[in-house]
Structure 1
Amino acid sequence: MLSNGRISYLTTEQIDRLLEACRNDSSNYIYPFALIGLETSMRKMEILSIRLGHIDLKRRVIYIPKAKAGAREQPITAHLADYLKQHLKQVESEQVWLFPSESSESGHMVSIEKAFRRVVAEAGLDPKEVLRHTLRHTAITHLVQAGVDLPTVQRISGHKTMQMVVRYSRQNGEHIQEAMEKLEQRYRKKKEKSQ
């Protein structure tokens, strides 16, 4: 796991190990929880309180009525849309929530910590360092490292202010060096053409 002291995130290899551990776990909910977190950057309660009626696979969005920064439509990846399409074929017709819970007053799960710690350990990661919020940090960090502009990252992540998103762009990594190499290439090509 990479860290700058404030924001920790998983590498692609660690993501693969974590998702494999989720697939093999006894909980039916940990894999969809982790996949949604990694492919949307949604917060824990945003994920656990997804209503089936709020999933729009055609438009590839999930409506979040009670997000931290206000209601929003959360874009989802094509991969996640395909997964949810298959997953929804298996839910009971009267089911309201993606993560239902009969023992919860709300009708949906409110905690997934135990299963999450278990799969993190099974993936060979440290449960004290890799928390549920690490999924959100991972998604946002990889968006930034892929070169997605910060206003778009803010729209996807649902951050209220740009200042929160800027924290992710300050991390040092391969993408920073690649950006500098691109800058250098632009300058060198221009200079070579003029000679």
Structure 2
Amino acid sequence: MACHNKAHVYKGCRMGHGRRRDLEACKEVKFLQENNRRLRFLSKEECQTLINACDPHLRPIVICALNTGMRKSEFLNLKWDQVDLKHGFIFLDKTKNGERREIPINDTLRITFNGLLRRLDTPYVFYDPATGKPYQDVKRSFASACRRAKIQDFRFHDLRHTFASHLVMAGVDLTTVKELLGHKTLTMTLRYSHLHQAIKLKRWMCWIVCSDKNQLHKKCTIWRFSQMHKVCKLLKLFIMELRGVEPPTS
């Protein structure tokens, strides 16, 4: 839409809809910044379908991404001396924001790590068996896995969004999610804030179902129309979130 508007402005200048002295002014027009944030994540069922569709070398990488939220460069270059299975943590020193990060290892990830073949000639956790060096990229094999799993419009980086989204929907606060993802500020993490609203709405709806009818009537009488409109809007967002698709921004 923004590009479309820009094209119309410049076209109008070229066709003479502006005075000659105003033509140069077109270059100074400031357009609103586009919201290019993308949030696509998988449901739990889709996650398992994707894992099952992965080639053997890709499967542990995808499991790692889904259970840690690490950036692709972080786990493709992950070394065994960064993995502490005894205490259950992954230690990342060279991160994008320059700050050390500790990521807990859950049971699924522990089983995955224990099942990997460790070679003495390479320090890397995920490596090409032919060279012993880490994979440069897994874009092609990941795209093939998505096709087999019939998952559309899903990029490798969206595994990171999936990790964060499921944390938020499980009730984890945004500050903790920020620390696990390695965001320098909370601004980037706020893209998941509408999921928090959806979960709050879900809990409110559960309260509606379980509450006493007389008590419910007393509670509902204090709600104004604008508040109920907000609840309906949140309910619509919640339904869309269950489908794993980011609702359109208003």
Given that 1:60 and 1:78 are in contact with CA atoms closer than 8 Å, whether structure 2 keeps it comes out as no
Alpha-carbon distance in 2 for matches of 1:77, 1:188: 40
Given that 2:122 and 2:133 are in contact with CA atoms closer than 8 Å, whether structure 1 keeps it comes out as no
Q: How many correspondences in the alignment?
A: 179
Shift of 1:52: 1.1
TM-score (structure 1 length as normaliser): 0.80
Greater alpha carbon shift after TM alignment, 93-102 vs 158-167? 93-102
CA separation of 1:149 and 1:188: change in aligned 2, threshold 3 A: farther
TM-score (structure 2 length as normaliser): 0.63
Structure showing greater Rg: 2
Greater RCO (CA < 8 Å, at least 6 residues apart): 1
Root-mean-square deviation over aligned CA pairs: 2.9
Given that 2:168 and 2:195 are in contact with CA atoms closer than 8 Å, whether structure 1 keeps it comes out as no
Alpha-carbon distance in 1 for matches of 2:45, 2:100: 33
CA separation of 1:73 and 1:145: change in aligned 2, threshold 3 A: same
1:58 aligns with 2:86: yes
How much identity, in percent, do the aligned residues show?
30
| 1:17-36 alignment, distance < 5 Å | 17-22=49-54, 25=55, 28-36=56-64
Shift of 1:95: 2.1
1:130 aligns with 2:158: no
Alpha-carbon distance in 2 for matches of 1:75, 1:131: 24
Alpha-carbon distance in 1 for matches of 2:126, 2:73: 11
Given that 1:144 and 1:153 are in contact with CA atoms closer than 8 Å, whether structure 2 keeps it comes out as yes
Shift of 1:117: 0.5
Shift of 1:181: 2.9
CA separation of 1:17 and 1:81: change in aligned 2, threshold 3 A: same
Match of 2:185 in 1: 161
Structure 1 unpaired stretches of 5+ = none
Alpha-carbon distance in 2 for matches of 1:6, 1:181: 28
Structure 2 unpaired stretches of 5+ = 1-36, 217-250
Match of 2:146 in 1: 120
Shift of 1:48: 0.2
| Partner secondary structure for residue 102 of structure 2 | strand
Equivalent position to 2:174, from 117, 130, 150: 150
Equivalent position to 1:73, from 94, 102, 109: 102
Q: Match of 1:160, as an amino acid? A: K
Alpha-carbon distance in 2 for matches of 1:185, 1:166: 30
Q: Match of 1:51, as an amino acid? A: K
Alpha-carbon distance in 1 for matches of 2:72, 2:156: 7
